[in-house]
Amino acid sequence: MAPRTRAEALSRERIVEAAVELLDADGERGLTFRTLTERLATGPGAIYWHVPNKGALLDAATASVIAAALTVDAGRSPQDEIRAIGLSLFEAIESHPWLSPQLALQLSRSPRGSVTPRIFEAIGQRVSALGIPENTWFTATSALVHYVFGAAGQNAANSRVLGPGVDRAEFLRAAANAWEDLDPAEFPFLRSIADEVREHDDREQFLTGIELILAGMTGGSRRP
């Protein structure tokens, strides 16, 4: 058997793994074929053998992270699996700051691409197992998908705005204090929830949103 070339020895999986590492460290601008060749200690030809351009590399990195996030343990109820998938996607977007804009781009640009069908299939299978009418499956699944990525994306954006040097608890206290100082005649609602803003947990708030959607789908009540 002929010896393997360098391009063949360097796997596509390792290239994508290195791309994710670079994206996590420096965002999209930090991912170039030059930085990738340096990270992998190889030549550009070995990478081009597997990935033709940066766009394809971004797509592959996005698909890799999403595939891992969509993996949940079997044997739970459909509701539990929806919660698990939602939280897994939430945490993936939080852990990979570059992921949210890439998902938005792929969801709008390529509904037949690798990511969108996987997301809808993973959530849609569980929605269809809830026992709700078939003519509501698309709307119900879309509502969940839009909520997950809207809430997760906003949380990730908030984290980027705060930056590594800002204390989240201190920021929330300041925001709550500012809301409590608003005109009570003009902003009665914001003043009433200021204490919840001060102490809330992002993940619990996110899961509560999923519970509200599930309750609306099934006509049931929220879990305790």
Q: Which helix (H) or strand (E) holds 100?
A: helix 99-109
- Stretch 74-90: mean pLDDT: 90
Given this model, what pLDDT does residue 131 score? 93
pLDDT at 110 over 70: no
Given this model, what pLDDT does residue 82 score? 95
Tens of pLDDT, residues 158-214: 766 666 666 777 878 888 899 999 999 999 999 999 888 887 888 899 999 999 999
Nearest-Å Rg of the Cα atoms of the chain is 21
From residue 141, give the alpha-carbon distance in Å to each of 25, 43, 108, 114, 154: 33, 44, 16, 18, 20
- Stretch 4-33: mean pLDDT: 83
| CA atoms of 218 and 143, how far apart (whole Å) | 14
Q: Domain map of the chain by residue range?
A: 75-218
From residue 93, give the alpha-carbon distance in Å to each of 20, 24, 30, 46: 13, 11, 18, 30
Summarize the chain as % helix, strand, coil (round to 5).
Answer: 75, 0, 25
Check: CATH 1.10.540.10 for 75-218?
no
